[in-house]
Structure 1
Amino acid sequence: MDKAIEINPNSEAVNSIGGIDISIIILYVIGIIAVGCWAGMRNKNKEESAKDYFLAGGTLKWPAIGLALFATNISTVHLVSLAEAGFTSGLLNGNYEWMAVFTLIILGVFFAPFYIRSKVTTLPDFLEKRYSRSSRDWLAVMSVVSAVTIHISFALFTGALVLKGMFGFPMLYSVIGVSILTGIYTVVGGLKAVVVTESIQTIVLLLGACAVTYFCWDKVGGWDEMVANIKPEQLSMLKTEGDSPWYAFFLGFPVLGIWYWCADQTIVQRVLGAKDENHARVGAIFAGFIKILPVFIFILPGLMFYAMIQQGTIAESAMPTKMVDGKSVIDAGQTYAVMIRELLPVGLKGVVAAALLSALMSTVSGALNSISTLVSYDIYKRFNPEVSDRSLVTVGRIACVLATLISIVISLQLDRFGSIIEGLNTLIGYIAAPITAVFVTGVFWGKASAKSATTTLAFGFVVSLFLMIFSFTGTTIPVWSDIPFLMQAFYLWVFYTIIIIVMSTIQPHVHTEESKKLYWKTPFEALQGEAWKGIGNYKFLSGLLCTIMAILYYNFR
C-alpha cells in the first residue's frame, strides 16, 4: 500500500498554531480529564458496583445516549477521512453517514427492546440468551479484536496524522500522549465518565466543525462559486463511477451498519445503560437526526476546499504531497489539517484543535470502556463465576491498559492503506459480515439455531483474521481483490446467512423460555410496544426521520 513520505508542512504553517491556540488546547484537555474523573468518582462514598462502572447504573436518558452514540462514532477518523473524501470524490462517501441514519432506526425499533428486556451487560451476553454459551464466547473475542483494531487504532492513527499536520508532532509521541490522557479518566471513571465527557465533546466537536464549514463557505465565495469550480457529479450521492458505485452502498453498507450500530459493543454499550426501553429507543433515533450533519460539516468543507484550489484562492502548494508509484501526488489525507492552518484565525484554531481531540478522545474512551466490560464479564467471569464486583472492575481497568498498549502498536502500522476511509471500512466489512448474519437471523427468524450461530462466528472469525492480515500486508487475492470492498462485505454476508439457514433447517433450534422472547414473530410486532405520547413517540420520530432522509436523497441524487 502507498505510504506517505515525510511531508513538508512549511515552518510558517506549523508556527501559525501559536501560544493562544496551544493554551486553549491544554486547558481543554485538563478540563476534560478533570470532568471525567469527577463524574466517575463523585459517588465513591458508596461501594462501587460493576453495573455502576460498566453501565452507568442503568441511569442514562435519551439525550445523553444520543449524544454519546454520536461522539463515540465521530472520531478523528471521520474528520480526516470525510474531509479527504470530499476533497477527492465529493459527496458520495456521505452515504456512510446518511445510511447510518436508517441503521440507527433499526437499532431503536428492533434491537434495543430486546437488549433492555433481557437486562444484558454485553452483547455476547445477549447471544448466550438467544443462542448458546459458545456463541457468546466467539462474539466476545471478535468484539475485543474489532474494538482494538477498528475503533482505537484507526482513531489514534488519524489523530496523530492531524497533530503532525498542524503542529509537526511525531506520530509516535502523539499516539502515546493521547492514549495516556484518555486512559486516565476512562480507567478511573468507567461508563459514567465516558458518557459525561462525550456529551461535552460532542458539543465542542459540532461547534468546531461548524466553524471550519463557515470559513470554507466564506473563503470559496458561497454555493454558486463552489459549484462553478467542481464537477457536477461531485455533488451527487448516487453517482455510479469509481470503486464505490451507489448500489454498493445500498447492498454493502447495511452489512457494515447493522454490525456497527446494532451489534458492536463499543457503540451499543450506551444503549445498554439506558434508564428504560423508551429512553434506549429514542436515544438511538436522536443520534440518527444528528448523523444528518456530517455530510454538511465534515464532507462538504473538503469539497469546498477542493474548489478553492481550483479557483486559485488557495495555492495547490499548500497541500502536502506523498509518493505513489514513484510519483509525487497531493496527500488528501492532510486536507482537514491544512484547512485549519490556512483558513482559521488565531484562537479559533485552538478551539477546532480541541474539537479534534474531543473526537479522538471520545472514541478511544468509549472503545476502552467496552473492552473492559467484555473482558470482565464475558471472559474473566466465565472462568470465575463467583468473582466480586470489585475484582471485575479491577480486571476491566487492567484490560484498558493492555488494550491501549496493543492499539498503539497497531496504529503505527496503518499508513499502509492508501485511503483511510477505504482501509477502515474494508476491515469492518470482514469482521461485520458473520456478526450481522447471526444477529439479523437471530432477531428476525425464530428458527436460527445455536449451532449455526456458533459455526458462523467461529468460521467467520478465522476468515476475517486471514483477510485482515492480507490487507495489512498488501497481499493481492486473485479475483477477490478486484471486487469493491462494500460488495465484498455483501457477498460475505450472503454466504454466512446461507450457512445459518441451511444448518438451522437441518437441525432446528431448541428454544428456552427466555430465548422465545428474544426474536420478533413478525417485524410489525416491534411497533406494538409501549411508547411515549406526542412528539417523543419513537414511531413518529422514526417516520419523520425517514421522510427527511427521502427529501435529502432526492435533492442530492
Structure 2
Amino acid sequence: MKLEMLDTSIFIAYVVGLLIIALWISRNEKAEGRNTEDYFLASKSLPWWAIGASLIASNISAEQIIGMSGSGYALGLAIASYEWMAAITLIIVGKYLLPIFLKNGIFTMPQYLEQRFDSRVKTTLALFWIAVYIFVNLTAVLWLGGLAIQTVAGVDWMFGMIFLAVFSIAYSLYGGLKAVAYTDILQVVLLVFGGLLLSYLALVEVSDGQGFIAGFSVLTHELPGHFDMILSPDNENYMNLPGISVLVGGLWVMNISYWGFNQYIIQRALAAKDLKEAQKGIAFAAYLKLLMPVIVVLPGIAAVILYPQLTSPDQAYPSMMELMPVGIKGLVFAALVAAIVSSLASMTNSISTIFTMDIYRPLQPNKSQNHYVHIGRIATLVALGLALITAQPLLGQFDQAFQYIQEFTGVFTPGITVIFLMGMFWKRTTSQGALSAAIGSAIFSFALKFTFPDLPFMDRIGLVFLLCLALTVVVSILTASKEGDESSNQSVSLDEVSFATDRGFNLAAIGCVIILTFFYVTWW
C-alpha cells in the first residue's frame, strides 16, 4: 500500500505544524530561563487537560495501537481488559498515590525511593528502569512504528524508525516536558478522531455498506468467541488472559505498577500545578482509556473478517488503513505517527530525567542547572541511538509484540509494586526488605516459569507479588534493628497527606465503575 500525493501532503503538513507549535512553546520557555524543573517537570505548571491528554498520548503508541489491535485480531475483545481495568487503576492512583508523591515534591520515582529507603534502592531501580525503557519500550515503539510506516507508506522499516527517532527529537529535545505535554493535546485529538473514523469505516465495510451498527452486529454474530471478556480455560488464548484473573489477579499488579510507579507516565502528574489539578487530569485520562478499545481493538477484530489471511496479527491495523479514502488516509497515518512520536518523546524525556537526576547529579553535584539540562539532552540522544541499533534483533522474531512486552516486564513488576506499596503504607519496611523484593521478583518469576510452564503469566505475576510481599515483611522484621533508621525517613509519614477528593473526582470515579460494570456484564 502506498500513500497518494494528497495523503503525503497532509502528513507533511502535520509534521511541519507540530514542529512549529513545539518550537513556539520552547521559545516561550527560553524567555523564562531554563533549569531542571522547567525542562523535566514543565515548571510544574501543567493544567488538567494537558495532563490527561499527555498521559494517554504517552501510553497509546505503536505497541498499543498495532500490538493491541493485533491481539484483538488473535484473541478478541478480552485484550481490552488492559485498557478498561487501567481506567479504575487511574482513579486509585489519583486518590491514594499522587497525594504522597506530590507532598514529597519529587522529580522521579527513584528519588522517592531514596527519600524513603536509601541510595542503594534508588540506584538499583534507576538502572533497571533505564534499561527497560531503552531495550523494551523504546525498541518496541520504534520497531512496530517502522513496520507500520513500511506497510502504509512503502518505506523501508529501518528508514521509518530513523524518521520516527529524528522527528521525536526535533520537537522534544529542546523544549523538554512542556513541549511534549502541550503538543500531546494535538496528538490525542488526531489519534481519537483517526481511530474512531477507522473503526467506523471498518464496521461499515463489514456490513457491506449497511452502517456501523449493522457491522458491529455482524462481528458479534460471526465472531462470538472474539467478544468473550472472560476467557474459559479451554480457550486457546487462556495463557495470555486467564479468565477471572483479569479482574482479581495479576493484572492489578501490572496496572498499579504501570500507572502509579512508571516514570514516563506519572511524570505528567508530577508536573501539575497542584494536587487537585493532577487528580482532574487523572480522571480525564481514565475516561479516555474507556474509549481506547473502540480505537485499537475493534479494528483488529474487524480485520479477522476483512483480512483473514494475514501472516502476522500485528499486520491488522496497518492493513485496515487500506479502507481509508484518499486524504483521510494521510490524516489517519498522521494520527498513528502522532501516537508513536509522542511516546518516544515521553520515554526519552523520562530516561533523561532519571539518568540526570538519579545517576549523574549525585556523581557531579555542584554543576549548573544548564549543565544538567545539557546532560539530559545527551542522554536522550544516546537512548534513542541504542534503541535504533537493538530494535530489530530484540523484537524482530516475535509474533505479538504487545504480549511480549507484558511478559518481559512482568518479571520485575511484582517486586516494584511491593517496594512502593510497602514503602508508602508500612512504616516498618526497611531498605533490605525493599532490595529483597527487587531480587526476589526476578528469582520467583523465573522459578515459577520453568517449574510451572503451563501457569498463565498473569497468574504468575499475582503469585510472585504475594511471595515478594511475604519476603519483604520477613526481611524487614529481621533487619529493622540492624538498619536502626526509624522506618527510614519522614517521607513515609502520612500524617500530613490528605486523601480526600472533591465531589467532581468522586462522581467521575463512580461513573467509571458503572460504565465498566456494564461492559463486563454485557460481554462476560
Q: Please, what TM-score do these two structures have when normalized by structure 1?
A: 0.87
Tell me the equivalent position of 2:254.
Answer: 256
Q: Does 1:518 align with 2:516?
A: no
When residues 385 and 284 of structure 1 are mapped into structure 2, their CA distance, relative to the original with a 3 A threshold, is same
Quote the offset at 1:279 in angstroms. 1.2
Partner of residue 553 from structure 1, selected from 509, 520, 524: 520
Q: How does 1:111-122 map to 2 (within 5 A)?
A: 111-122=97-108
Q: Distance in 2 between matches of 1:544 and 1:463?
A: 38
CA contact (8 A) 1:35 1:197 kept: yes
Q: Does 1:149 align with 2:135?
A: yes
Quote the offset at 1:201 in angstroms. 0.3
Q: Which amino acid aligns with 2:221?
A: A
Deviation per residue, 1:175-222 (Å, 9 max, x gap): 111101111222111000110111110110000001101101111122
Tell me the equivalent position of 1:99.
Answer: 85
Percent identity between matched residues is 28
Q: How does 1:475-514 map to 2 (within 5 A)?
A: 478-508=450-480
CA contact (8 A) 1:220 1:305 kept: no
Q: Distance in 2 between matches of 1:161 and 1:236?
A: 29
Q: Which amino acid aligns with 1:543?
A: I
Tell me the equivalent position of 1:403.
Answer: 383
Partner of residue 147 from structure 2, selected from 161, 164, 189: 161
Quote the offset at 1:253 in angstroms. 1.0
Tell me the equivalent position of 2:286.
Answer: 288
Tell me the equivalent position of 2:335.
Answer: 355
Q: Which amino acid aligns with 1:401?
A: L
Quote the offset at 1:246 in angstroms. 1.9
Q: How does 1:183-332 map to 2 (within 5 A)?
A: 183-221=169-207, 222=214, 223-230=216-223, 232-240=224-232, 241=235, 242-243=238-239, 244-250=241-247, 251-308=249-306, 316=308, 319-321=309-311, 331-332=312-313
Tell me the equivalent position of 2:432.
Answer: 451
When residues 477 and 110 of structure 1 are mapped into structure 2, their CA distance, relative to the original with a 3 A threshold, is closer
Tell me the equivalent position of 2:164.
Answer: 178
Tell me the equivalent position of 1:326.
Answer: none
Deviation per residue, 1:492-528 (Å, 9 max, x gap): 222222221111122337566994453558xxx97x5
User: What SS does the aligned partner of 1:47 have?
Assistant: coil
Q: Does 1:137 align with 2:123?
A: yes
Q: Which amino acid aligns with 1:253?
A: L
Deviation larger for 382-391 or 201-210: 382-391
Tell me the equivalent position of 2:37.
Answer: 51
User: What SS does the aligned partner of 1:44 have?
Assistant: helix
Tell me the equivalent position of 2:370.
Answer: 390
Tell me the equivalent position of 1:25.
Answer: 11
Tell me the equivalent position of 1:544.
Answer: 511
When residues 544 and 99 of structure 1 are mapped into structure 2, their CA distance, relative to the original with a 3 A threshold, is same
Deviation per residue, 1:77-120 (Å, 9 max, x gap): 11111221222211011111111112211210111001111001
Deviation per residue, 1:362-405 (Å, 9 max, x gap): 10000010011111100111112222111110100000000001
Quote the offset at 1:47 in angstroms. 2.3
Deviation per residue, 1:118-153 (Å, 9 max, x gap): 001111111111222221111111121121123211
Q: Which amino acid aligns with 2:98?
A: A
Deviation larger for 282-291 or 395-404: 282-291
Q: Please, what TM-score do these two structures have when normalized by structure 2?
A: 0.92
Q: Distance in 2 between matches of 1:261 and 1:228?
A: 35
Q: Distance in 2 between matches of 1:129 and 1:477?
A: 34
User: What SS does the aligned partner of 1:507 have?
Assistant: helix
CA contact (8 A) 1:442 1:519 kept: no
User: What SS does the aligned partner of 1:36 have?
Assistant: helix
Tell me the equivalent position of 1:83.
Answer: 69
Q: Which amino acid aligns with 2:61?
A: S
Q: Distance in 2 between matches of 1:506 and 1:513?
A: 13
Q: Does 1:365 align with 2:337?
A: no
Q: Distance in 2 between matches of 1:138 and 1:427?
A: 18
Quote the offset at 1:174 in angstroms. 0.9
Q: Distance in 2 between matches of 1:115 and 1:402?
A: 29
When residues 529 and 41 of structure 1 are mapped into structure 2, their CA distance, relative to the original with a 3 A threshold, is same
Q: Which amino acid aligns with 1:283?
A: G
CA contact (8 A) 1:76 1:360 kept: yes
Q: Distance in 2 between matches of 1:389 and 1:514?
A: 29
User: What SS does the aligned partner of 1:417 have?
Assistant: coil
CA contact (8 A) 1:138 1:458 kept: no
CA contact (8 A) 1:161 1:171 kept: yes
Tell me the equivalent position of 1:442.
Answer: 423
Is there any run of 5+ residues in structure 1 with no aligned partner, and where? Answer: 1-13, 310-315, 322-330, 471-475
Quote the offset at 1:225 in angstroms. 2.0
Tell me the equivalent position of 1:312.
Answer: none
Q: Distance in 2 between matches of 1:512 and 1:350?
A: 60
User: What SS does the aligned partner of 1:72 have?
Assistant: helix
